[in-house]
Amino acid sequence: MGLPMSLNLLRKTGYRLTVHSRTACKARAVLAEGATWADSPADLAEQAEVIFICVTDTPDVQKVLFGQDGLIRSARKGTIIVDHSTISPTATRQFAKTLASAGIDLIDAPVSGGDVGARQATLSIMCGGSKPAFDRVEPLLKQMGQTVTYTGPSGNGQLTKLVNQILVLETLLAVSEAMIFAKKSGLDLSTTLEAVGAGAARSWQLQMLGPKMIQGDFSPGFMVDLAAKDLGLVVEFARQNHIKLPVIRWVQKLYQRLQRMGCGKEGTQALFKVVEQMQSMKPGSDTHPPDQI
């Protein structure tokens, strides 16, 4: 995600861009177009007024911000850090508080739209943090995303992304079950998809991932491992705040099953495999939603 997003910034803004990646070879394309390499986040911070982060999980962001060579070591007062990772809202709020004490603003700005949206600059970007800081970086965000929304104080961007993930992943379970129902009922899956996709059942998951399920194409746009990570964030925040979400807990169990099956690097449409596998399970097997609702 970070590579096409940085390329869009470089190509569209005319600003000087400095980059760092934990895996240096991943930055080759953007370096070839004129970006400058920094040996560490701290080195990068010395050269930047606005810093964008796009890594995997909460501990990764914490290390980039506060590790031995973290951004806080050399970021100047007035710097804005924009975090595009999907991480814990609670941790985000603590990170923002720590950075604010050093005069640095943190905007949590997770994205939705997948690798295609990153390449085409059509991402939906959900932003939390200081409104003045958001106003400063909004023009840059619009070079990477089609819909850029300010959602309120720090952490709200992450919470909005988790709402997005609930909608996406629960809908994907519905698509998987619908396709299995059609298959087991003897329907032609392509014809069924064409029929229901024109009505009220239409969704991005049905239109984009339904055909991949039919074709047995489980290549990743968004990986199972990342979906499982995001579901963990949802379930943990819900637990901490006494929010009952029985269906999303069930979806989490299914993605964990996929990981145990060795499908963690496949696309989220691999959920179809689990639902299909369940058809051969004996009654009483672990196929029912959690009892504690």
The string of pLDDT tens digits covering residues 152-179 is 999 999 999 999 999 999 999 999 999 9
- The secondary structure of the chain, three-state, reads CHHHHHHHHHHHHCCCCEECCCCHHHHHHHHHCCCEECCCHHHHHCCCCEEEECCCCHHHHHHHHHCCCCHHHCCCCCCEEEECCCCCHHHHHHHHHHHHCCCCEEEECCEECHHHHHHHCCEEEEEECCHHHHHHHHHHHCCCEEEEEEEECCCHHHHHHHHHHHHHHHHHHHHHHHHHHHHHCCCCHHHHHHHHCCCCCCCHHHHHHHHHHHHCCCCCCCEHHHHHHHHHHHHHHHHHCCCCCHHHHHHHHHHHHHHHCCCCCCEHHHHHHHHHHHCCCCCCCCCCCCCCC
On average, the pLDDT of the chain sits at 94
Which of 63, 97, 131, 161 is flagged as catalytic? Answer: 161
Q: Is the pLDDT of residue 290 over 90?
A: no
The residue-averaged pLDDT of 187-210 equals 95
Question: What is the third-level CATH fold of 160-278?
Answer: N-(1-d-carboxylethyl)-l-norvaline Dehydrogenase; domain 2 (1.10.1040)
Check: CATH 3.40.50.720 for 2-152? Answer: yes
161 is catalytic: yes
CATH 3.40.50.720 domain extents, the chain? 2-152
Q: Is the pLDDT of residue 285 over 70?
A: no
Confidence of residue 291 (pLDDT cuts 50, 70, 90): very low
Residue 27 DSSP code: G
In this prediction, residue 212 carries a pLDDT of 97
- Give Cα 118 to chain centroid, integer Å: 11
CATH 1.10.1040.10 domain extents, the chain? 160-278
Q: Is the pLDDT of residue 251 over 60?
A: yes
Read off the pLDDT of residues 128-149 as tens digits, 9 standing for 90 and up.
999 999 999 999 999 999 999 9
Q: Is the pTM value of this prediction over 0.85?
A: yes
In this prediction, residue 283 carries a pLDDT of 65
State the Cα–Cα distance between residues 231 and 228, nearest whole angstrom: 5
